[in-house]
Amino acid sequence: MKRNTAARTIAYLACFSLAVLAAPLSADSGAAPSRPTNAPAQTASPSDIFGPLFDAVQMRRLFADSKTFADAIPRRSPPAILADYRARTEWSDDDLRAFVRANFDMPDEAVPAAAGRTSPRPLLDHIRNLWDLLARPPVTPSPGSSALAFAGTHVVPGGRFREIYYWDSYFTMLGLREDGRRDLIEGMIDGFVGLVERYGHVPNGARSYYLSRSQPPFLYLMMGLSDVHDPAVLNRRLDALIDEHGYWTRGAHVVRMPDGATLNRFWDDRDTPRDESYREDVITARASGRPAAEVYRNLRAAAESGWDFSSRWLADGHMLATVDTTDIVPVDLNSLLYGLERDIAGRCIALHRSCATTFERQARQRRAAIEHWLWDDAEGRYGDWELPRRRLRPGLSAATAYPLFTRLAIPAHAARVAATIETRLIAPGGLRTTLVRTGQQWDEPNGWAPLQWIAANGLDAYGHGTVARHIARAWISTVEARYRASGKLVEKYDVETRGSGGGGEYPLQDGFGWTNGVTRAMIARWGDPIRSP
């Protein structure tokens, strides 16, 4: 009898998590941020610990990628290293580089081995092989490392992204599920729950320099991929979701719309250069003519969005120096919070807890606010609200699909969005991210695996299966074509030319977790256009 009850509970929870749903918490924007009372003080980042040494290494660009030194591990006491650095007043680049090499272990730059160019193994075999290449054991950080402890076996994206990342992991898990890797799915969920219990939220990634922000809240959807039946585990996971919801719906993440409704925005608790992009941020702030702290906060908030960077977050639509992320009420974040609220309500019912009514009410309120404030009837799209100008920001983006993905959209709006996507956003190689070329990686001509899945899944759910299938098969064809040419799967693609993507702060990365996961799941759902045209 116990087993049957547990199975019914899991089925009930899965229907909420996989359907993906949406509404706001009545929170005062001056409230204290959510954090468990037993959470430790925020772990210092490398820039905090090494101060002038960190600044010198990054600003002199001793390493091509700013993230390299942020991930380095000191070989001895950081105060001793810093004292020795301060003891000298003049450092040449060569001397400083030698000093760093002598005092730090630099991170491994290895990436997954590529298949041979002449005859790569079949794509699905390659993806299956990559899971073990990208898998990592539980993390116990070395003293002085910027790495955070992570309890579960997990998959990293690949390349410079050598630790687990938050929103990436859901899309990776879609492929893990198809390949039967339940061990990795459960390890990643348990690890994220542990992070929420420790810090009050899931950080952007498992590094100390990511602790001041999160990423789009996909944890409830990850839990929807789980087969765990144990009520104790399910209650622990529900507690983590409630804590995560509190993180997003208190403090500076909360904004009030003109009618008093509350929605949410991206934010970062710090207003300093990002450790992992330190030099880049300093240069952007200097070029902006604005207070540096304001620019840093907005760059960090854009990193929390996952779209770092995009014309969505640029006041003039083109120049990174005009970044204004914290002035924007984004449709994707609020759609996911609607889904989180609906999911929590469903879990409360399934676990016989008294929290369902509260979260259902918040979901209803959020849905009404999104449909009122973030819908553009003239253009048939959902968009982002500009707080200072009290209007929807101009410009169509793939974020318009989020209310369909979370099953928030009313059918009439979903039909309009489907037509807009079909006529304006679908390129030869998949779904466009935006229609603006800025040189930023989350703009045209790039397409990204998570957005392909979100759009295709949402459109299919509302009965627009033909458009969904078009996106999926165009994306699969692009990934397969580049794989056959290079033997690699990469983080982003040029969906106009069906080539590799570009732009942004760093070179194109190989690996690549979410590309592998989404492509694998799309082939399972929509077929392989190469083999079944």
Q: ∠ at Cα 330 (328, 331), nearest 5°? A: 150
Residue with tokens 């949410």: 264
Query: DSSP states of 356-394 as a string?
Result: HHHHHHHHHHHHHHHHHHSEETTTTEE--EETTTTEEPS
Give the active site residue among 308, 384, 443, 528. Answer: 308
Return the DSSP state at 328.
Answer: E
Return the DSSP state at 180.
Answer: T
Strand partners, 104: 74
Alpha-carbon distances of 249 from 28, 373, 385, rounded to whole Å: 9, 18, 17
Alpha-carbon distances of 84 from 46, 92, 95, 193, 275, rounded to whole Å: 17, 15, 13, 40, 22
Alpha-helical (H) ranges within 376-464 are: 402-405, 411-420, 449-461
| E strands, 16-161, in order | 73-74, 104-105, 135-136, 154-155
- Tell me how crowded residue 428 is: count the other CB atoms within 10 A of its CB: 12
- CB neighbours of 342 closer than 8 A, spacing ≥ 6? 16, 21, 22, 359, 360, 363
Edge-first strand listing for the sheet containing 492-494: 446-448, 492-494, 499-500
Q: What is the 3-state secondary structure (H, E, C) of 205-252?
A: ECEHHHCCCCCCCCHHHHHCCCCCCCHHHHHHHHHHHHHHHHHHCCHH
b/e map 136-150, b = 16+ CB within 10 Å: beebebeebbbbbeb
The whole-angstrom separation of Cα 284 and Cα 288 is 6
DSSP, collapsed to helix, strand or coil, labels residue 503 as coil
- Tell me how crowded residue 405 is: count the other CB atoms within 10 A of its CB: 27
Residue 331: which H helix or E strand, with range? helix 331-350
Alpha-carbon distances of 174 from 11, 40, 179, 221, 450, rounded to whole Å: 18, 33, 9, 10, 10
DSSP, collapsed to helix, strand or coil, labels residue 490 as strand
Q: Is 109 within 8 Å of 129 (Cβ atoms)?
A: no
> At residue 136, what are phi and psi to the nearest 5 degrees?
-135, 145
**Residue type for position 159:** G
Q: Is 491 annotated in the active site?
A: yes
Task: Write out the catalytic residue numbers.
Answer: 308, 491
